[in-house]
Homo-oligomer: A and B are copies of this chain.
Amino acid sequence: MDKIIADYIVRAGGAEIERIAREIAFEQTVEVPETLITSDTILENIVGQVVNIQPADNTASRFRVSIAFNAELANGQISQLLNLLFGNISIKNNIKLVDVTLPPSFVRRFRGPNFGINGVRQLCGVFDRPLLSTAIKPRGASHEAFARIAHDFALGGGDIVKDDHNLVDSDFEAFKSRVSRCQAAVQEANRTTGRNTLYFPYVLSPQDRLESYLDFVLSVGIRGVLLSPFLIGLDTVRTLAEAYPLVIMAHPTFTGTFFHDPDHGVAPGVLLGKLFRLIGCDISVFPNYGGRFSFTKEDCRIIQQHLQEPFGHLSPGLPAPAGGMRFENLAQMAEQYGPDAVFLIGGALLGDSDSLQASTEKFLDAITSLFPGHRHQNGNDSWQSACELPTFGTAEVLTHLPFQKDYSWAGRPASDYKSSQALPFQGVKRHELIGQHGERTRFDLRYFEIAPRGYSSLEKHIHTHAIICIRGKGELQINGEVIELKPFDIAYVPPLAVHQLRNHEQEPFGFFCIVDHDRDRPMKP
């Protein structure tokens, strides 16, 4: 049986640590007290097994507890993994998840970063130094000001300019407008420099619109986005990363309560390193040590380690330390992170001089000088994404379908008239009005129109029809009888009645037809 091994630091007295460790193992799996589990199968296969307890330091009050969980309990899902590792016990205290070891059978369910270090480097055309990134801000400035930041940073040779994660637009149109403008500004600068600076917009929309936003992003040639996994959900990020051939840069907003207490929560390396990589983040942004947040140098090192150490088939990702990074400590940063990192420098770059282009050049020169093996390439050579653009349907629930004078309804175009001689019907067109676009009806409302001398197929089926004539005149043949229909006449076609609708007039014959949504296929009589 494959196991997931979770390592917790638990603060407790030595006399109670074994009991507490077992309580965690029960709470996270069966959620009932030990005494209520009498089945050996459940005890052996479902309840977590405490496999190791050892002092975490020399205080005698902190222990490292390793619990082995049956890997099947995580169901190959990141959401359920979070629940298994730290769901209910998040509401307890003095338990810190500090590491997790995932078996290959679990890791195989994930694709990991779409691009990874190499892929991102190829997109940028930069191979042997850290990438330089900045943020477009502040919210409230004009689109023009945003575009200028993007443009000038690109002109200075920066690698990735991303939106600040506070840049959320009033609606999709505003997003399109702002993002198009920034992307155009970067493209314009790229034409000047011959380089390939990337622009990553921040995407935060209503959950059911995220795909529309990403469709748009792809459509204007953007190669990556900034997402906030803890706002939109980790498995949402995974889903999007699998569906869209985009670089995913992850922002840590709203994650902090997992980290601030040294005795409770989840270690930053696990969340921002290992798990973000698992769900497909190519780049993980986190607060650099020494800045205005409280991550330690060691926290930062472990995040990078989790992003880059061997991890099944998953590509390694890039740490993007941010905050408190100044010109003066670039050497220190270079020593800490080495070349495979993204230096995300906001305020220090924007505030360094009046010219963002000049500041960017200055910082880039400094970074480059710290990595003398640097070779600079243009473009992304022969690399290609295996992913193709996904296709999405346009079905949409509409509350109002205004009638148009030509007997059509906005948003519900007709199928064409068909007239092939091979078909058993002639001159029929159909509008699917309600029921086939995601509406929660158990019936479908359609409008049919039969051209002069046209007819529907002679057929029968188990499902029924309700027909309401609204245009012209026509006839319903039903079980050999003929019913003339004029506007607002209604007809009911019972199960298995052999029927056909025909138009012998000079004008179109139009009618609503209501049928069960789930229905059998028509048969020849």
Contacts and interface: CB of A to CB of B under 8 A. Distances in A.
15 contacts: A30-B137, A30-B139, A31-B138, A37-B138, A46-B140, A88-B253, A91-B256, A91-B260, A257-B257, A257-B266, A399-B492, A400-B491, A401-B491, A435-B466, A468-B512
A236 B239 contact: no
Contacts of A138: 29-32, 36-37, 42, 46
A393 interface: no
B92 A487 contact: no
Given A168-B80, A441-B464, A491 B399 contact: yes
Interface string A443-471: 10100000000000000000010101010
Nearest to A400: B483
Given A77-B206, A400-B483, A137 B31 contact: yes
Nearest to A73: B139
A478 interface: yes
Interface in A197-247: 204-208, 218, 228, 231-233, 235-236, 238-239, 243, 245
Contacts of A480: none
A484 B89 CA distance: 53
B32 A346 contact: yes
Size category, A interface: 35 or more
B92 A294 contact: yes
Interface string A68-88: 000011010101101110111
Contacts of A137: 30-32
Interface string A415-438: 000000000000000000111000
Given A30-B140, A231-B82, A256 B89 contact: yes
A39 B90 contact: no
Contacts of A188: none
